[in-house]
Amino acid sequence: MMFGFVLVAACGRMDHLGKAPSFTSAAETTEHNAMMSPGLPLRADAKGPTERASLWSGARQSLLGDRRAVQQGDILTVVIEIDEEAEISNATDRSRSGSESLGIPGLFGLPQRIDERLPEGASTSEAVSINSSSSSSGDGSVKRNEKLTLRIAATIVDVLPNGVLSIAGSQELRVNFEMRELLVTGYVRPEDISRQNEITYDKIATARVSYGGRGQISDVQQPRLGQQVLDGVLPF
């Protein structure tokens, strides 16, 4: 099993060994499948003879038609503008102290008889004495600052029964020997799409945005495969 894991990891790097990373085939993407199979409409739009004969039509391809993406296979633009900052700080402090003592000054005269046989200076008047103290303190803080500005074309891959649109988009940019990848998926409402056929990321439900890359530079920045395995196995 370990050999298979190593083989899969090695094959991932063989793609750009001595050459630039290869692009993902557009014919194998979810967007391409949605465009090739637009699916059946949820309802049939009946057109009367008056509408067919009119010079001004409300169809999508007409001058006054709504060009926003609403059907499977349509394309819209996703605007990603993230500028967030979060800061959390907390501190805890705890202390405790206690003392216990037990003495036997008199018990049927036994302590006096015992004291006579004890070494000089020893006595049973304070038979047991216990003192304890403990303290703990903690301090922690988290500070994050994220900023990302991107625009990507996404495709409607499915129209749910309630009218919500499932979108997916991918983008690859190769510079020298490094491939930058941008992926976005989620669900949007048709009414949230602007007249410019755009939607912002904060209106995408279950949004999944990935911005990363692969190539020779990314390989150097990652720990070796053996080091990753040891980090997950060793308890120290």
Q: Outline where DSSP puts E strands in the chain.
A: 75-102, 128-159, 165-175, 178-188, 198-200, 205-215
Report DSSP letters for 188-231, one per residue: E-GGGS-TTSEEEGGG-EEEEEEEEEEEHHHHHHSPPHHHHHHH
pLDDT per residue as tens digits for the range 166-199 = 999 999 888 888 888 899 999 999 999 998 999 9
pLDDT at site 8: 47
Are the CB atoms for 231 and 223 separated by under 8 Å? yes
Question: Which residue did the predictor score with more confidence, 113 or 25?
Answer: 25
Question: Which residue did the predictor score with more confidence, 98 or 113?
Answer: 98
- Neighbour count for residue 99 (Cβ, 10 Å): 9
* pTM > 0.85: no
**Residue 13 — very low, low, confident or very high, per pLDDT cuts 50/70/90?**
low
pLDDT at site 179: 86
pLDDT per residue as tens digits for the range 124-150 = 666 656 677 777 778 888 888 888 888
DSSP state of 28: G
Question: Which residue did the predictor score with more confidence, 45 or 78?
Answer: 78
Distance CA(12)–CA(48), nearest Å, equals: 57
pLDDT at site 169: 93
How far does CA 43 lie from the centroid of its chain?
Answer: 37
pLDDT per residue as tens digits for the range 15-72 = 666 667 777 777 777 777 777 776 656 555 555 555 555 666 656 666 666 778 888 8
pLDDT at site 187: 95
Question: Over 80: is that where the pLDDT of 73 sits?
Answer: yes
Nearest CA-CA partner of 184 in 155, 164, 213, 158 = 155
Question: Which residue did the predictor score with more confidence, 119 or 74?
Answer: 74
